[in-house]
């Protein structure tokens, strides 16, 4: 599979101005199709989560050309997801809701090639997250978080770095709670 990074970047740029609304529409779809996922989010501040999801997607897209750091970051994110109860079977549900949200927001700019580019990108992202999920202890604890990997070693725009710092403080939710 050759990932068409240009198409992923260009389509992401088209939703940036509406990013948090996009994220809210994504969760609405996800929970409408898969209400069985709701218990995983029962202690979640959804407004905060909408921001985290979109900033994380943005920083992932910005680092698709920086695969080594992205891979370390995604393994950590996958390990964290394992800890909060996410299972392998859930990943296609998120992928489906994501591409449908893109289709809705992009209208006639969502074409077959862009759709394929996102399917490829999502499958790559999920595979790496799931590698991390297989061995969570190795990627959590003393390791850097997803956010720290990309902040320290990623190639991200100053705006995204700023948002990341403000929204996440570089920690996962349960780390914040226990600190």
Nearest approach in angstroms of CB 17 to ligand HEM is: 20
* Separation of alpha carbons 99 and 57, rounded Å: 13
Among residues 8, 15, 24, 57, which is the contact residue for ligand HEM, using CB under 6 A? Answer: 57
3-state class (DSSP) for residue 133: helix
- Using only C-alpha atoms, the chain has a radius of gyration, in whole angstroms, of 15
* Separation of alpha carbons 1 and 109, rounded Å: 23
Residue 127: CB atoms within 10 A of its CB come to 13
| DSSP code of residue 156 | -
Place of tokens 């949200």: 101
Per CB under 6 A, which region of 3-11, 21-29, 38-46, 65-73 contacts ligand HEM? 38-46
Q: Should residue 79 be labelled a site residue for ligand HEM when binding is judged by CB under 6 A?
A: no
3-state class (DSSP) for residue 31: helix
Q: 91: closest CA among 119, 49, 64?
A: 119
Nearest approach in angstroms of CB 108 to ligand HEM is: 25
* Separation of alpha carbons 88 and 91, rounded Å: 6
Of 40 and 144, CB closest to ligand HEM: 40
Q: Should residue 38 be labelled a site residue for ligand HEM when binding is judged by CB under 6 A?
A: no
Nearest approach in angstroms of CB 158 to ligand HEM is: 20
Q: Should residue 44 be labelled a site residue for ligand HEM when binding is judged by CB under 6 A?
A: yes
Nearest approach in angstroms of CB 71 to ligand HEM is: 14
Among residues 38, 47, 84, 152, which is the contact residue for ligand HEM, using CB under 6 A? Answer: 84
Residues near ligand HEM, by CB under 6 A: 37, 40-41, 43-44, 49, 52-53, 56-57, 80-81, 84, 86, 90-91, 94, 125, 168, 172-173
């Amino acid at each position: 599979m050759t990932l068409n990074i240009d198409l992923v970047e260009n389509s992401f740029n088209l939703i940036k101005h509406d990013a948090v609304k996009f994220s809210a529409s994504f969760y609405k779809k996800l929970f409408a199709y898969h209400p069985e996922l709701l218990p995983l989010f029962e202690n979640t501040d959804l407004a905060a989560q909408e921001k985290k999801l979109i900033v994380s997607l943005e920083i992932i897209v910005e680092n698709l050309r920086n695969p080594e750091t992205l891979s370390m970051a995604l393994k950590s994110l996958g390990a964290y997801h394992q800890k909060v109860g996410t299972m392998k079977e859930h990943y296609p549900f998120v992928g489906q809701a994501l591409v449908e949200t893109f289709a809705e927001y992009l209208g006639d700019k969502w074409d077959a090639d862009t759709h394929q580019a996102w399917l490829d990108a999502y499958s790559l992202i999920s595979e790496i997250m799931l590698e991390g999920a297989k061995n969570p202890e190795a990627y959590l604890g003393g390791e850097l978080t997803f956010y720290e990997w990309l902040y320290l070693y990623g190639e991200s725009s100053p705006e995204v770095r700023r948002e990341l710092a403000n929204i996440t403080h570089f920690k996962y939710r349960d780390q914040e709670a226990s600190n």
